[in-house]
Amino acid sequence: MACILKRKSVVAVSFIAAFLCLIIVRLTNEVTFPLILNCFGQTSVKWIPFSNGQRQLLRTHYGYINVKTQEPLQLDCDLCAIVSNSGQMVGQKVGAEIDKSSCIWRMNNAPTKGYEEDVGKRTTIRVVSHTSVPLLLKNPEYFFKETNSTLYVIWGPFRNMRKDGNGIVYNMLKKAVDSYPTAKIYVTTEKRMSYCDAVFKKETGKDRIHCKDVRMVCQDFGHAGGHHVSTPRVQSGSYLSTGWFTLILAMDACYGIHVYGMINDTYCKSEGFRKVPYHYYEPGRDECEEYFLHENAPYGGHRFITEKKVFAKWAKKHTITFTHPNWTVS
């Protein structure tokens, strides 16, 4: 009798355990698992079951909001190729290699037509400065119609991105979406912009200031010497670059990152460095001269060299590779 009762107990326990396993499996297909979130609009993830039983990780990035739907950006990539706008891309002939990446990132209005052999032809996501939006609108048929599968992430200060009718750039984007309803345009939230500023402060020790504090370097829709600008920083008097915003989002969205054509912080002082134009699609300005000009500007410049030092630091913690030219990250 004792053996029979013991056997029944084992069967009952096994049945309960199997039932609990079924419940757990069911829940893992439906429950959203948060990553470490902060108030600046970080990511969360959700497991979505495939028909073949595998699961796909879908990341939601709450710091980027769709202009049309007001929904947050959903983006998840395996290997990302970030293509620099630098003249370093000229003659590299890595277009086919770039196009094999799961997600391909480009910046501002950098073209692919006519440069496919060097930079590829596919574009998954394009990160754009608020000051480059008018450049996109000069060729809206290409950017918002022909390439309507591309995700556009626009960054800029609150004064230009506000949604109350007074945001100059946001109004432009609203009109673009009205004209091209299939365009996938996202804007960076004010909290996310603050987060990117906070990252700069953490990594460099430089704080930011408000336009009212340094009026001479602030304009409503400003350029600094014709270059893209955002909020200035206290001690450096600098502006974040589009590359800064691109890499921060890519580290959230990609499992691996391959950056093409970006020089490191010591390149322009190295022996026999390659002299190239600032942009691969524009003759004229020399890249290294541009870097030194901005790095040494008392106000209104990008700190390209400082940012590259930070990128090298991030490459030690994340799966980031820099080539063409190659970086040595020790």
Instruction: Calculate the dihedral angle through the C-alpha atoms of 217, 219, 224, 226, rounding to the nearest 10 degrees.
Output: -170
The string of pLDDT tens digits covering residues 92-145 is 999 999 999 999 999 999 999 999 999 999 999 999 999 999 999 999 999 998
What is the number of domains present in the chain? 1
Residue 206's CB: how many other CB atoms inside 10 A?
A: 18
Could you tell me if residue 304 is inside a domain? yes
Percent of the chain whose pLDDT exceeds 90: 58
Q: Give residue 260's domain range.
A: 32-323
Reported confidence tier of residue 302, pLDDT bands at 50, 70, 90:
confident
Could you tell me if residue 25 is inside a domain? no
Q: For residue 233, how many C-alpha atoms fall within 13 Å in the half-sphere facing its CB?
A: 24
Could you tell me if residue 13 is inside a domain? no
Could you tell me if residue 8 is inside a domain? no
| Among 41-45, 256-260, 288-292, the least confident range | 41-45
Could you tell me if residue 229 is inside a domain? yes
Could you tell me if residue 106 is inside a domain? yes
Could you tell me if residue 283 is inside a domain? yes
Q: What is the pLDDT of residue 76?
A: 94
Residue 134's CB: how many other CB atoms inside 10 A?
A: 13
Q: For residue 70, how many C-alpha atoms fall within 13 Å in the half-sphere facing its CB?
A: 1
* Phi–psi pair at 237, nearest 5 degrees: 60, 35
Q: What is the pLDDT of residue 291?
A: 82
Q: What is the pTM of this model?
A: 0.77
**CA neighbor of 306 nearest in space, from 234, 215, 200, 224:** 200
Which residues pair with residue 55 across a beta bridge? 49
Could you tell me if residue 201 is inside a domain? yes
CATH number at residue 146: 3.90.1480
Percent of the chain whose pLDDT exceeds 70: 72
Q: Rounded to an integer, what distance in angstroms lies between the CA atom of residue 182 and that of residue 179?
A: 9
Q: What is the pLDDT of residue 17?
A: 58
Over 50: is that where the pLDDT of 213 sits? no
Q: What is the pLDDT of residue 4?
A: 47
